[in-house]
Amino acid sequence: MSGSQKELIPDNYKLLFAEEQIRQRMVALGAEIARDFKGKKPILIGVLNGGVMFLADLIRHINIDLEIDFVRISSYGDARESSGHIKILKPLSADIKGRSVLVVDDIVDSGLSVQFLNNMLTAFKPDSLKFASLLFKPNRLRVKIDLHYIGFEIEDTYVVGYGLDDAQVKRNLRGIYTIQ
């Protein structure tokens, strides 16, 4: 670990996924997505704020032409657990009608955000709509959803780093940590 990040990591953080593990998973996911979308020019929709690092690293490993856009929704605020109430904070800018769409998010736990985005984006009549999540907590799922690409399945624990925040900070950590 570089010395510049050491001071950002409190003693109660335990490394779950190191930077290199994450990079290797991005390479594999990028190859899978490129294969599945070959011959198409998909639009990848990053879910802000947490999904920005995942999207940025992932697209570097998708070797086909693609576009990106962003949406921002909120179901957490500064809390560590989803409220279940979802608000749109930044709507989609691109026209996705007839397009192949891949939504890229940092974490799926209850599934309510995926369900919300699926319902919202389906109304715009994309040709296809798929979902990718860096992290997935299957034990927390409250609704039936289809996740097409999963970086890592994890236990029901609070995680920070690599885009995931703790009260809006620690997103810049290069690894993913649990809080003890």
Q: Which residues are catalytic?
A: 109
Instruction: Look at the block and give the residue holding tokens 């947490």.
Output: 50
Q: Residue 82 in contact with residue 76, Cβ under 8 Å? A: yes
Omega within 30 of 0 (cis) for the link into 118: no
Q: Residue 44 in contact with residue 96, Cβ under 8 Å? A: no
Query: What does the block give as tokens for 152?
Result: 């890592």
The contacts of residue 122 (CB under 8 Å, 6+ apart) are 129
How do strand 128-136 and strand 100-108 relate by DSSP bridges? parallel
Q: Residue 29 in contact with residue 151, Cβ under 8 Å? A: yes
